[in-house]
Structure 1
Amino acid sequence: MSMTGVTRNSEFNLDRHDWPPKGHLKRNRFVTQYEYLQSGGLRDVYLAKDTVTGQALVAKRFNQPGYSWSDDVELSQITQSYAEAFNEHLGYECVQCITPLIDGCTKDIGGPFQAGEKVIIEPCIGVRAYKKFNSNNGWHDEVTEEMAAFTHFTYNESRGRLIVCDLQGVKKSGGRFILTDPAICSLSQNYGATDMGEEGIRAFFANHTCNYICNEWKRHPRSSRSYHTQRRTSFR
């Protein structure tokens, strides 16, 4: 279970290696020695490695009971679909959302992991450069116009049914944003514990100032309510 060549400063090379990997995934391809990296509202993140490519990965485990990794996969796939449409609209590749893999721990995994436990495996996109661009409660950073516009784009593309938000990840040197762990706020409120429903949509637009990308797009009707925003993800 060697982690040789991979450190917390390593990054997966998405330009040279496919993700998800193509072909059959052999047993024990992904390994970890459970070096802790960081935690979010639901997940603890550990450094891992792809033994075939030598690339750096992360292994994520839930730090609270009662949640399913299939929701994370679905949210990422939906976000990537919107990202492809957004890129087509812009005429260049601006956004990519990582689709994670669900893997099972072997009986001798050790550390904080339990035998048979399901975990998420995905590329390590850069611990030091990792940043949150907006949340699912209306909070947003003040400088990343592309991410605000992307969330606005998802509202228009879905005809007002949802927004993709809680955007986080890294901005690469060429200007491409690599995202992971998104949330969706929807009228149906069918997208898990981070789906804050129409209130989440209202909160986004209450705090969103349109920019050069999105200033001609439709907005959700403004609410007179004042929203408490925070950088941390909100949960129902």
Structure 2
Amino acid sequence: MNDLEAVFEENSFAEGRFRRAYLGTWTNPIVKRGQRCVVKELKEEYTWEASDWKTAELVQQEAQTLADGFNAYSGCKYPIKFARVDVMRVVTKKNQNTTPALGEYVVAEDYIEGTFKKWCNNYGYISDEAQDFAMSLPAFMHWSWYHTDGQMMAADLQGVKKPDGYWLTDPVILSDVDGEYGCTDMGVEGMAMFFMKHKCNQFCKLLPSPTFDDFAGVILPQTLQKCKLAIPSMMGCTAFRSELKFTKPIKNVVLRTFRNIATRI
């Protein structure tokens, strides 16, 4: 934590499956005073320790590091930038019956002005706009997978497109280690679902990429069908690890397949 301070509204203005968001205003430091911010709390449980947000901070940092690498690689005129998250504690409030609770830890970030969109999620959803116009975003996911030798993928890309780039929030990191990046880390299953939908474009066409044929005989037909049917139901939503469908043997085979493909060049 640092010396940031903010006040926020009593009622949330947006929420996802994982978090609830409140519109706020920075009061400290002076350079931020009066600027709008967003305060977010976990929906399922109170967070009484600042360390409860450690994964969220780590995910943002990893996603930004990957974005910096992709921006340099692609030369895209709309660079990708993730909003920084800061952990804060609720120290005063008027209505004691509302959440976040007094003493609860939340995260705050600068408010992103503009039309908010979800271009990709963490389980195979890629919007039509991302396929046809915002092509650098799914290409970034593909590149992050290749850049880390198939061990990680930046996902759940959502935010606002501005004249100076894409300003994104609440990313997800998919990893080849079970749940390393929290309950939204769908691991190699999430990566596989992405590649089943992804169509390479000008930003990633030179990178190795799994194809549907690479999964034939690797994933049981009935499992594959369940996964493919789940993708439309996840439109606009973030998937949770409780919804994973791969058995451990399938996951291990897919992981080996990914490693072989990611290091092909």
Scaled to the shorter chain, the TM-score interval is 0.7 to 0.9
Q: Secondary structure at the match of 1:36?
A: coil
2: CA distance, partners of 1:64 / 1:89: 39
2: CA distance, partners of 1:66 / 1:199: 29
Runs of 4+ in 1 over 3 A off after TM superposition: 107-111
Q: Secondary structure at the match of 2:194?
A: helix
Displacement of 1:109: 5.4
**Structure 1: stretches of 5+ with no match in the other structure:** 1-19
Q: What does 1:108-127 align with in structure 2 at a 5 Å threshold? A: 108=93, 110=95, 111-126=98-113
* 8 Å CA contact retained: 2:13, 2:22: yes
Q: Deviations over 1:69-104 (max 9, x none)?
A: 211111000000001101111235610011200000
What does residue 136 of structure 1 align with? 122
What does residue 248 of structure 2 align with? none
* 8 Å CA contact retained: 1:36, 1:47: yes
Check if 1:188 corresponds to 2:177: yes
Q: Give TM-score scaled by structure 1 length.
A: 0.83
Q: Give TM-score scaled by structure 2 length.
A: 0.74
Q: For 1:200, which of 170, 190, 208 is the aligned residue?
A: 190
* 8 Å CA contact retained: 2:63, 2:171: yes
1: CA distance, partners of 2:146 / 2:10: 41
The amino acid that maps onto 2:85 is P
Q: For 1:62, which of 42, 47, 65 is the aligned residue?
A: 42
* 8 Å CA contact retained: 1:109, 1:115: no
**Structure 2: stretches of 5+ with no match in the other structure:** 217-223, 242-265
Q: What does 1:190-229 align with in structure 2 at a 5 Å threshold? A: 190-220=180-210, 222-224=214-216, 225-226=224-225, 227=228, 228-229=230-231
CA RMSD, 1 decimal: 1.9
Displacement of 1:62: 1.0
Q: Deviations over 1:10-50 (max 9, x none)?
A: xxxxxxxxxx9xxx626xx2111324210011111000111
* 8 Å CA contact retained: 1:206, 1:223: no
User: Compared with structure 1, are the counterparts of its residues 214 and 34 closer, same or farther at alpha carbon in structure 2 (3 Å cutoff)?
Assistant: same
The amino acid that maps onto 1:192 is G
Q: Deviations over 1:131-168 (max 9, x none)?
A: 10101110111222111000001001101111111111
Structure (1 or 2) with the larger CA radius of gyration:
2
